[in-house]
Amino acid sequence: MKRIFLGILVLLLLAGFGWLANYFWKQAHTDPITYKTETPFLTDIVKKTVATGSIVPRREVQIKPQVSGIVEELFVEAGEPIKEGQLIARIRTVANAANVNNAQNQIQAARVALETAQTELNRQRPLFEQKVIAEQEYNRLLADVRAKKQALNAAENDLQIAQRGASRNTGGASNTVRSTITGLVLDVPIKVGSSVVERNNFNEGTTIAAIADMKSLVFEGKVDESEVGKVREGMDLNLTVGALEGENFPATLEYIAPKGITEEGAIKFQVRANVRLKPGQFLRAGYSANGDIVLGRRKQVLAIRESLLQFGKINKDSVFVEVQTAPQQFQKRLIKTGLSDGINVEVLSGLKKDDQIKVLGPPAEGEKKG
């Protein structure tokens, strides 16, 4: 047993010595690592943040009827230009029996009151002419008759509105729907024969048409809370619309919401920008768009790829690169950086244009010189 144990021990020792010999041999014959180098370059650096949102008209109105009833005629379609005051639809009113009955009762009561006041006036007129009653009393009777006539006229108008949806005193029919602005008809959500409800204090009413001024458009989007502190009113935006490839639309930031909203676990702030369209350009309402907000811009500055930067382990604020001093020999050099666009970073001091900088690894996809 001792011999077997010693034999196994000897074999293990020989195997260990063999592995060590092979390891050191490979280490001695391994080719040295050759590092690639890059030089600083001149480029334009633009730092920006992106706001996602959509294109909407600055002024959009919902046209609603003044009376309830059934759409008898429609005079416009979506996509048509329209002027203020132009006829959109005509409503055929459906008389409400209770409203008609109440209006008729009001007329009857107003007539009785007028007849009573007129009778009293006729009875007092001879007395006034004979100087029996004072002029002030006679004038009160005259005013009372005028008031009763106005009440009768109002009751008759109420009956006409209840029956026909129009009043003879307004100079126009309340059963017609007209545009309140000049613009473009975005949508006509109802059809001829549809029932509509009037707008009042208790009901929003049925929308007959949506109209907007398409010459004045704004971009409404949201910016993350980490970037909102860097944006200011008056900054320029570059809008890209997904439906229109290859076209860019300039805009100017004009509003930043004072309060953020929670969206998908993150706080975002609403922003609005005025879209500056060139002659002949046209955008449809509701286009989704991205707005690049320019936070900073540098033209033709000395820069390097941001992936070449290294940071101190003790003093994490220290930034350095490894500069070649001799073939495949490098020395750490502290540098001061400026604006970064996420790919390239501006070098303020510490490097020259002809310095060779050590590349620690292959360039990441999308990293390239400007």
User: Residue 77's closest CA among 238, 228, 189?
Assistant: 189
Domain 97-164 bears CATH identifier 1.10.287.470: yes
User: Residue 71's closest CA among 85, 83, 87, 82?
Assistant: 87
Tokens (6 digits) for 162: 């209840």
Confidence at residue 368, expressed as pLDDT on a 0 to 100 scale: 47
> How far apart, in whole angstroms, are the C-alpha atoms of residue 358 and residue 336?
17
> How far apart, in whole angstroms, are the C-alpha atoms of residue 141 and residue 218?
62
Tokens (6 digits) for 343: 């790919």
Ranges of the chain with pLDDT below 50: 171-172, 363-370
Q: Write the CATH number of the domain with boundaries 65-93+172-207.
A: 2.40.50.100
Which helix (H) or strand (E) element contains residue 79? none
Confidence at residue 254, expressed as pLDDT on a 0 to 100 scale: 93
The two beta strands, 69-74 and 87-93, are antiparallel
Residues found in the chain: 370
Distances (CA, A) of 320 to 346, 348, 351: 13, 12, 10
Name the 3-class secondary structure at 25.
Answer: helix
Placement of tokens 């005051």 in the chain = 85
Tokens (6 digits) for 139: 């004038």
Name the 3-class secondary structure at 47.
Answer: strand
Can you give the residue ranges of every domain in the chain? Answer: 37-43+300-358, 49-56+213-298, 65-93+172-207, 97-164
Residue 275's DSSP bridge partners are 251
Which class in CATH covers the domain with range 49-56+213-298? Answer: mainly beta
User: Residue 166's closest CA among 61, 72, 63?
Assistant: 72
> How far apart, in whole angstroms, are the C-alpha atoms of residue 93 and residue 75?
18
Confidence at residue 188, expressed as pLDDT on a 0 to 100 scale: 94
Q: Write the CATH number of the domain with boundaries 37-43+300-358.
A: 2.40.420.20
CB 128 within 8 A of CB 138: yes
User: Residue 160's closest CA among 203, 205, 99?
Assistant: 99
Let me know if the fold of 37-43+300-358 is the same as that of 49-56+213-298. no
Confidence at residue 156, expressed as pLDDT on a 0 to 100 scale: 84
Distances (CA, A) of 295 to 255, 316, 317: 16, 25, 23
Confidence at residue 36, expressed as pLDDT on a 0 to 100 scale: 87
Confidence at residue 370, expressed as pLDDT on a 0 to 100 scale: 46
CB 45 within 8 A of CB 342: no
Query: Per residue, what are the HEC states of the chain?
Result: CHHHHHHHHHHHHHHHHHHHHHHHHHHHHCCCCCCCEECCEEEEEEEEEEEEEEEEECCEEEECCCCCEEEEEECCCCCCEECCCCEEEEEEECCCHHHHHHHHHHHHHHHHHHHHHHHHHHHHHHHHHCCCCCHHHHHHHHHHHHHHHHHHHHHHHHHHHHHHCCCCCCCCCCCEEECCCCEEEEECCCCCCCEECCCECCECCCCCEEEECCCCEEEEEEEEHHHHCCCCCCCEEEEEECCCCCCEEEEEEEEECCCCEEECCEEEEEEEEEECCCCCCCCCCCCEEEEEEEEEEEEEEEEEEHHHCEECCCCCCCEEEEEEEECCEEEEEECEEEEECCCEEEEEECCCCCCCEECCCCCCCCCCCC
Confidence at residue 163, expressed as pLDDT on a 0 to 100 scale: 65
Confidence at residue 77, expressed as pLDDT on a 0 to 100 scale: 93
